[in-house]
Amino acid sequence: MCLAACGNHTEPARPTPELVVPRDAPEPNPTDAECDGLIDHAIDLQTPGDAGVGSDDRTKLRGEVHARVLARCRAMPRAVYRCALAATTLDAFTSCDPN
């Protein structure tokens, strides 16, 4: 009987555990960067073709909107976020959030 020095004995390969996310797990809320993109999209819908809004005014508007809606955006369900981001009109955008 050979216990220690009898050739190359390795442990049997063990499968790597996979990260399993339950199907009913909620999707993460939008990130700050995603909310910034949504804010830009909302401004684009409100001011098509910039409608005379210069870059300085747009930057100021973006800052004001950002300060008002970032917390609400971060708490927004992912489905509402996706709907708003896909909206092509302001009416469609606002109809995404029933609140």
Residues 6+ away with beta carbon under 8 Å from 36: 66
Alpha-carbon span 88 to 93, nearest angstrom:
7
User: Could you read off the pLDDT of 44-65 as tens digits, one per residue?
Assistant: 888 766 555 667 887 888 888 8
Alpha-carbon span 70 to 32, nearest angstrom:
7
Query: With a threshold of 0.75, does the pTM exceed it?
Result: no
pLDDT of 77 > 80? The answer is yes
